[in-house]
Each structure stands twice: as C-alpha cells, then as structure tokens.
Structure 1
C-alpha cells in the first residue's frame, strides 16, 4: 500500500501574477546546465529570461491555457504542471518542481493522478523528456515506455503510458 504524502498538493490555474515565480522555477530547471557552461550570473540572467520568454510564448501558442496549473503545497507555489487534454491523449507538456521539493514523492503523486485520469478516459499519457533528465527514472518507474520509432540521436525521448487492460483508474502505479 502506498504511503500518503504528509502534505496535500493543490493545482490551481496560473495567473499573470505568477510570472515571477514561473521564471524562478524555469531558472532552477536550467541551473545544472548553466553551471556546466560556466556562464557568469550577469550573462546567465538575460539568457534565462530570453529562453523563458521563448518557451512561454511557444507553449501559449501551441497548448490550451486551461491545462496550465501552479502546484502549491500548504498555499506556497512549489512547481507547475501543463497538461494538454484531447479526446485521444493527455500530453504532459511540462511538470517542474523547485529543487527543494524534488525527491519527496510529489512528482510521483502528480503523475499517478494524471495516470488515473488517463485510465478513466481510456487514453494514453504522452510526454517528452531529455535523455539526461533525472525525472526519466520516475517516468520509467511509473511504467512509461519509449514510443516506437523515436530518433536515437535526439536529445529527447518521447514516452507514453497506457493503462493496463481492464484498469479504469483504480490500479495505477
């Protein structure tokens, strides 16, 4: 039996007042990469802002805004989740957590909730992840598998999860 989380994560729609937090979150997802490049902070900040704005414009142009949610724990923002829901799939566009909230079961909890939703709707969950992203271990543990025909030279893997036959959302995990 799964141990319940000691906290109750809550998803709420993103608003324009969340922009400063969303930038901080985005920057935290790139910290390891920027450290490897040795970029000084004076150069890192404008680079990160440019990259963040490009990603935000792209996501907003391609994915419905109703799937964009802030993840809160005890009323404080700790991450974001963006899910594009269609009749044929749930596309996990992005899920990010601040580093201090990673490795505590929150990502697993959110992923299981999404898998339960997909099982009830009888659709797969699909996502893209970089091959060197530590979250790849989480996705693999949760039963995600590579989509056949992927480009082995791409830095990204396309993964998918389908509920086992007969699972209507109660046996995920």
Structure 2
C-alpha cells in the first residue's frame, strides 16, 4: 500500500478521466471505476508531475499495486439522487463521476462488490469499454495501475418529523 499523502485539489481532479462498468463475467459481479489522466494539457504540466499527483491521490485513498493484496478502502462512493461521487480523501471536494449505467448503480447500492483502479499512464478522454481491457492488461500494468475495493454510502432521506399531539 502507498503512503498516505495529501490529495490533489479540484484543478487537478477536474482534468481526470473516469470510466465505469459492471463485470458480470464471473460468479460474483463486480462494479469497476477506472480513473486516469489524459496527459499534459498545458506547458506547465509534465508527465512526472501528473504521476506525482496521481500517486498522491492513490495514497490518499489507500490504493495498492496489483502485486499486493487489494485493500478495502471503504464506503467512498456516495449517491445523492442522480449524482455519484467518489470521496478521494479531500476535506472539501469529491470527484463526480459520469453517469454510470443503472445496473452499475443498482449493484453497488445493494452492497455488491466494487473496485476502483487508478492508472498512472495516460488514459485518453472518451476511452470506452474497448480501451479499458487493453489498458488494464498491458505489460507492466501490475505496477502502473493501483487498486482498492470500494463500497457505497447512500444519503439517507430525511424522515418526516413525528407529529406531537396538541395539548
């Protein structure tokens, strides 16, 4: 597991790319969330600087390389109506995810297992499902992709106040 670090701020997080899918190929279905960065967007950004920020993000969430046992990083997925957000360890900000499919949302809100994968190598914007398998299975991915098991916490609906009898 990586050393806990201070998570990146919203400027870096807003540039991240995320893909979600439900893997139902095995006896137990698993929801996945792949997070990456598309690469430098302006002259001040470098690949090494981006990687340092991604490692800080991984450390803040408690992720580990594939070669290690996958850590349970807790209830970091939050649902509030149609919004799905990932608590990545920042005091004030969370990462809002693109709208996952209904089957993905239902699986995780029913307590089904989930996994977050954070790629250290560039992940192009708009990378669809056809790009995910090659990205995760390429040579060296066991040290360049960091993982953690996640669960969801749904916002409790406020309960109506109990009516008290009038005197």
Is the pair's TM-score, using the shorter chain for normalization, greater than 0.5?
Answer: no
* Structure that is richer in helix per residue: 1
Q: Which of 1 and 2 has greater Rg? A: 2
Higher relative contact order structure (alpha carbons within 8 Å, sequence separation ≥ 6): 2
- Structure 1-normalised TM-score? 0.28
